[in-house]
Amino acid sequence: MGVSPRIAIDAMGGDEGLAVMLDGVALARRQNDGLRFLLVGDREQIEAGLKTHPNLAAASEIVHADEVIGGNDKPSQAIRRARTTSMGLAIAAVKDGSADAAVSSGNTGALMAMAKIALRTMKGIDRPALAALLPTLGDNDVVMLDLGANTECDSENLVQFAVMGAAYARIVMALKRPRVRLLNIGVEELKGTDEVKEAAAQLRAAKPLAMQFDGFIEADRLGRGEADVIVSDGFTGNIALKSIEGTARFITDLLRRAFTSSLRSKAGFALSRPAFRMLKVHLDPNNHNGAVFLGLNGIIVKSHGGADAQGVANAIGVAAKLARDDISRRIAEDLENFRAHTRTVPAAAQ
């Protein structure tokens, strides 16, 4: 992996179309020195789109793909079209080394299924996890994983997620020793499922690590800046993430209703526009775009289906950082280090 990573882009995936993807890639090129790209999709359409992006065209190669994975395609069907679709060929480019990472705004389930089959999980990792950044009231975002890759997880999976999430936080947020917590329904040691309690026991026993394990966190504290990495099984993480998204939309809808309820409040809204803009910037998913499948032999970044150009550029920025800092090597080293420090704990020995 060089200092100038080459990123494979699934140019056809996502709800916003090719033009927004190309705008996003062009923006990423300007924001990250020396990036190169493999643009995967319909050659004619991509060539036409590149006419307004001469600098991007100079930094890109096109890989033609006949087909696109649709938003409603089932993962089980998508995996049979790995060799003909833009998503499948973007992943294949990571596998054969012609790209250092791949970014797609397409169907999450299909992306995960195809990436698992093509790249396989890293040595020492039983299951990959989906990790994303969420905004907090603290100094930096928080990494949450797993957000839905694994419905059920044992304690060993959770421990591996903690190690992977910490490696991710060190690279993306430039933290030396991220504070890691397990998501639970209380902070006392006795609370929660057997899996969560057992994972906590293993993580507590494994100090010193390239992380600081701080025990449990409850779901109402996720955005308070009290942790850098929050670990859960994929069912719980998905429920938490969607509850957060739904509540944010719920309150935004209420605010809209409230502010259009009278002339006075409409005037108040107009006057308050800068304040609302601050809120919007903070909550805008484009500013936290770029979920990552951790634990595979290769870097796959999922961009929001509805991401705008800046959102796409942010996702590409994440992919470039992970490639430059070689996250796979970091995770492998951290796992090795973790095993060395827990070798005496029977529960962790397997």
Q: Are 128 and 157 in contact (CB under 8 A)?
A: no
DSSP letter string over 104-158? E-S-HHHHHHHHHHHH-BPTT-SS-EEEEEE--SSSS-EEEE-SSS-SS--HHHH
Closer residue to a second copy in complex, CB, 8/69: 69
Closer residue to a second copy in complex, CB, 119/144: 144
Question: Tokens 């057992």 — which residue?
Answer: 198
Instruction: Tell me how far apart the alpha carbons of residues 339 and 334 are, in angstroms, rounded to a whole number.
Output: 9
Is-cis flag, bond preceding 96, omega within 30?
A: no
Closer residue to a second copy in complex, CB, 34/71: 71
Least gap, CB of 75 to a second copy (angstroms): 10
Closer residue to a second copy in complex, CB, 79/259: 259
Q: Is 183 helix (H, G, I), strand (E, B) or coil?
A: strand
HSE toward the beta carbon, residue 271, CA cutoff 13 A: 6
Would you tell me which residues interact with a second copy (CB under 8 A)?
137, 148, 151-152, 183, 185, 192-193, 218-224, 232, 234-236, 238-251, 253-255, 257-259, 261-262, 264-265, 267-276, 278-279, 282-283
Q: Are 315 and 289 in contact (CB under 8 A)?
A: yes
Beta strands of the chain (E only): which ranges?
A: 6-10, 36-41, 60-64, 101-104, 129-134, 142-145, 179-183, 212-217, 229-231, 291-294, 300-302
Closer residue to a second copy in complex, CB, 114/241: 241
Least gap, CB of 215 to a second copy (angstroms): 16
Least gap, CB of 197 to a second copy (angstroms): 10
Instruction: Tell me how far apart the alpha carbons of residues 65 and 3 are, in angstroms, rounded to a whole number.
Output: 28
Closer residue to a second copy in complex, CB, 173/259: 259
Least gap, CB of 74 to a second copy (angstroms): 9
Instruction: Tell me how far apart the alpha carbons of residues 293 and 302 are, in angstroms, rounded to a whole number.
Output: 8
Least gap, CB of 151 to a second copy (angstroms): 6
**Is the Cα torsion angle 16, 18, 23, 29 positive or negative in sign?**
positive
Closer residue to a second copy in complex, CB, 237/295: 237
Instruction: Tell me how far apart the alpha carbons of residues 35 and 39 are, in angstroms, rounded to a whole number.
Output: 13
Least gap, CB of 43 to a second copy (angstroms): 34
Closer residue to a second copy in complex, CB, 34/138: 138
Instruction: Tell me how far apart the alpha carbons of residues 173 and 301 are, in angstroms, rounded to a whole number.
Output: 16
Least gap, CB of 145 to a second copy (angstroms): 14
Q: How buried is residue 236: exposed, middle or buried, by Cβ count under 10 Å (0-12/13-18/19+)?
A: buried
Least gap, CB of 248 to a second copy (angstroms): 6
